[in-house]
Amino acid sequence: MSRTVLVVGGGGREHALVRALARCPERPRILCAGGNAGIARDAELIPLDLADVRGVAALAPALGVDLVVVGPEAPLVAGMVDAVRAAGVRAFGPSAAAARLEGSKAFAKEVMAAAGVPTARAVTVTDLDAGLAAVDELGLPVAVKADGLAAGKGVVVARTREEARDALAACLVDGAFGDAGRVVVVEEGMTGPEVSLLAITDGSAVARFPAARDYKPIGEGNTGPNTGGMGSVSPVPDIPDDLADELVDRVHRPVIAEMARRGTPVSGVLYAGLMMTPDGPRVLEFNTRFGDPETQALLPRLQDDLLGLLTACADGGLPDRPVRVHDGAAVTVVLASHGYPGSPRTGDVILGLEEAAATGAEIYHCGTAPGPDGTIVTAGGRVLAVSARGADVAEARARAYEAAGMITFEGRQMRGDIAAGMEARA
């Protein structure tokens, strides 16, 4: 009998996980807690509040689940994996103690210092005066970072002392991020291209994915406010496999060893957000989950059996080698709703989904819901992530845009420059 997997989360990343699990030779039964109108076609939706760590832990054994895969950071930091394991069910993802690498930037800095991992100089502060002293010590520009989870909005790169003061005051005086901003990491400003290097681990072995890049700002040419990510590409032509291996040796392995030494091994994903500065690679942040929308460009290329990899991370015994991927490249283009990232409008009817899918592209749903008369409507900021593979970045890009262009809804926002300028070098 095939196993039952419960995916927790309801966005584009989780839809990509569900689809990749559905392709596994074992053909597992797939349940999804959260879900959306697209995931509903590929998995059985379980109505569950993602914040309800105990509820998920109680339901997993009752539903006969063999493996729980937790997508988003908040339930990980809240201890969902610990609770599921305590209920006797296997879980892919970090314990709350290991998820602190993502949940506290100050903690991540401390671990990096202990492990000798290259990252920007930084000072951790809890009041405005100490923050301003740190700005003066580090010099401008500086990155002002809320310590805790802030849904991607907790970082300001300040070019003037005024901007730095405002960012510090927002966290430390006005409480803009609540408890997540009571501690602030002030970090020296760096420059250079960014890369997302994701690896899965069982606490000792490391299996990296090819490098990926996401496009965070809403506007073309990386202008305007940051979003959850407007597109992604993998591989990244300036990060060939041998450099990716070297980065894993310098960043992921020392952090994984340090966490094991502390008695809080990392299992699940260790995602390093890196900046390739003129002085060498530097870690910007860690996440302990799959990236969104990087996952939508990584999983379509996966050749290994995802269920086997995730199970090996949970049980131990993961092979220590890069994951096997199909040659070529994949590009993901995100379609976002009117008003995103400020106040996204919902309820706009989406047209063209079938036509776009018929091109062979993967149409992952992020924020969609069933609408009137069998329609599907927008239900969030990021609505869809359209991914396509190709022999190289140029071909993948052309296919992704061809499919994305077929999907329309009122107020649709789409960047036209995802993976542009990489074509010649892939």
102 lines the binding site for ligand GLY (CB under 6 A): no
- Of the pair 190, 336, the CB lying nearest ligand AMP is at 190
292 lines the binding site for ligand GLY (CB under 6 A): yes
- Of the pair 258, 294, the CB lying nearest ligand GLY is at 294
Report how many residues bind ligand GLY under the rule CB under 6 A: 6
Tokens of 19: 């689809």
Report how many residues bind ligand AMP under the rule CB under 6 A: 12
287 lines the binding site for ligand GLY (CB under 6 A): yes
Q: Which one of ligand AMP, ligand GLY, none is in contact with 83 (Cβ closer than 5 to 8 A by kind)?
A: none
270 lines the binding site for ligand AMP (CB under 6 A): no
229 lines the binding site for ligand GLY (CB under 6 A): yes
291 lines the binding site for ligand GLY (CB under 6 A): yes
273 lines the binding site for ligand AMP (CB under 6 A): yes
Binding mask 166-185 for ligand GLY (x = CB under 6 A): --------------------
- Of the pair 82, 294, the CB lying nearest ligand GLY is at 294
150 lines the binding site for ligand AMP (CB under 6 A): no
* Residue 347: closest CA among 330, 322, 371, 323: 371
d(CA 325, CA 60): 31
123 lines the binding site for ligand AMP (CB under 6 A): no
| Cβ at position 216, least distance to ligand GLY in Å | 7
Which of 187, 202, 214, 258 is in the footprint of ligand GLY by CB under 6 A?
214
Q: Which one of ligand AMP, ligand GLY, none is in contact with 292 (Cβ closer than 5 to 8 A by kind)?
A: ligand GLY
Q: Where in 183-222 is the site for ligand AMP (CB under 6 A)?
A: 187, 189-190, 194
63 lines the binding site for ligand AMP (CB under 6 A): no
| Cβ at position 247, least distance to ligand GLY in Å | 17
d(CA 337, CA 348): 8
Q: Which one of ligand GLY, ligand AMP, none is in contact with 351 (Cβ closer than 5 to 8 A by kind)?
A: none
285 lines the binding site for ligand AMP (CB under 6 A): yes
| Cβ at position 187, least distance to ligand AMP in Å | 4
Q: Which stretch binds ligand GLY (CB under 6 A): 125-133, 176-184, 286-294, 335-343?
A: 286-294
Q: Which one of ligand AMP, ligand GLY, none is in contact with 187 (Cβ closer than 5 to 8 A by kind)?
A: ligand AMP
| Cβ at position 230, least distance to ligand AMP in Å | 13
155 lines the binding site for ligand AMP (CB under 6 A): yes
Phi, psi of 370 (to 5 degrees): -65, 135
Burial 55-89 (b: 16+ CB within 10 A, else e): ebbebbeebebbbbbbbbbbbbbbbbbbbbbebeb
| Cβ at position 418, least distance to ligand GLY in Å | 13
Q: Are 145 and 167 in contact (CB under 8 A)?
A: no
294 lines the binding site for ligand GLY (CB under 6 A): yes
Query: Can you give the three-state secondary structure of the chain, one letter per residue?
Result: CCCEEEEEECCHHHHHHHHHHHCCCCCCEEEEEECCCCHHHHCEEECCCCCCHHHHHHHHHHCCCCEEEECCHHHHHCCHHHHHHHCCCEEECCCHHHHHHHHCHHHHHHHHHHHCCCECCEEEECCHHHHHHHHHHHCCCEEEEECCCCCCCCEEEECCHHHHHHHHHHHHCCCCCHHHHCCEEEEECCCCCEEEEEEEECCCCEEECCCEEECCEEECCCEEEECCCCEEEECCCCCCHHHHHHHHHHHHHHHHHHHHHCCCCCCEEEEEEEEEECCEEEEEEEECCCCCCHHHHHHHHECCCHHHHHHHHHHCCCCCCCCCECCCEEEEEEEECCCCCCCCCCCCECECHHHHHHCCCEEEECCEEECHHHCEEECCCEEEEEEEEECCHHHHHHHHHHHHHHCECCCCECCCCCCCCCHHHC
Q: Which stretch binds ligand GLY (CB under 6 A): 138-146, 251-259, 291-299, 313-321?
A: 291-299
d(CA 379, CA 364): 14
Q: Which one of ligand AMP, ligand GLY, none is in contact with 148 (Cβ closer than 5 to 8 A by kind)?
A: none
Which of 120, 158, 266, 388 is in the footprint of ligand AMP by CB under 6 A?
120
- Which residues would be at the binding site for ligand AMP (CB under 6 A)? 120, 143, 145, 155, 157, 187, 189-190, 194, 273, 284-285
- Which residues would be at the binding site for ligand GLY (CB under 6 A)? 214, 229, 287, 291-292, 294
